[in-house]
Amino acid sequence: MIDEKTAREAVVRAADELFYARGVQAVGMDAVRTAAGVSLKRIYSLFASKDDLIVAVLRHRTTIWDDGLASTSARATSARERILAIFDFLDAWFREPDFRGCAFINTHGELGASSPAVTAAVREQKRTFQEYVARLVADVGAPPELAPQLAILAEGAQTTAAIAGTPEAARQARAAAETLLDVATARA
């Protein structure tokens, strides 16, 4: 028998893959059980409900997102490059063969109206991303109102890339971000 931490991780990873590929509502707990190799009884001892599992998956996705941003921005040598690295990260992600858009946006679209826990988890991830962008904007010395504009570019690029089925939105959003940065820093 696998320990609780290992079982929990296996269930979250399996659910993440299934939810992202098929959608949250289309995936039953039996499919998660089969993919994770963990009994349904054990899954429900780890997660009281499917909503609890969805929130755990969203937290897992938050870690993946944060780690990806950190890894990409680590190569940047200036505050401006750290901002633009957001769009480089998106470009690489949009090129992955299993890219299906933002899991947070997708999940909120499916369950946001009916699940306060899902809504809270999605809002938390979006809030922390906006705070991250705000710190970068402060580091570059640009006005604070630039931060939500850049965050909206990143969010819009994710949706556009998913719908269009091409990574071009990342490059286009990066070009728009460069223009916004140029104007904002010229005024500062």
Q: What SS3 class is residue 96?
A: coil
* CATH code of 78's domain: 1.10.357.10
Condensed to tens digits (0 to 9), the pLDDT of residues 56-105 reads 999 999 999 999 999 999 999 999 999 999 999 999 999 999 999 999 99
Residues 97 and 178 in one domain: yes
Tokens 């499919």: give the residue.
31
Q: Is 11 found in the same domain as 81?
A: no
Q: Is residue 156 a contact partner of residue 94, using CB atoms and an 8 Å limit?
A: no
pLDDT of residue 1: 63
pLDDT for 113: 82
Same structural domain for residues 109 and 30?
no
Regarding whether 91 and 1 lie in a shared domain, the answer is no
Low-confidence ranges of the chain (pLDDT < 50): none
Contact between residue 24 and residue 54 where contact means Cβ atoms under 8 Å apart? yes
pLDDT for residue 188: 67
Q: What is the CATH number of the domain that holds 29?
A: 1.10.10
Is the distance from CB of 125 to CB of 103 less than 8 angstroms?
A: no
User: 36 and 126: one domain?
Assistant: no
Domain, as residue range, for 169: 50-187
CA atoms within 13 A on the CB side of 64: 15
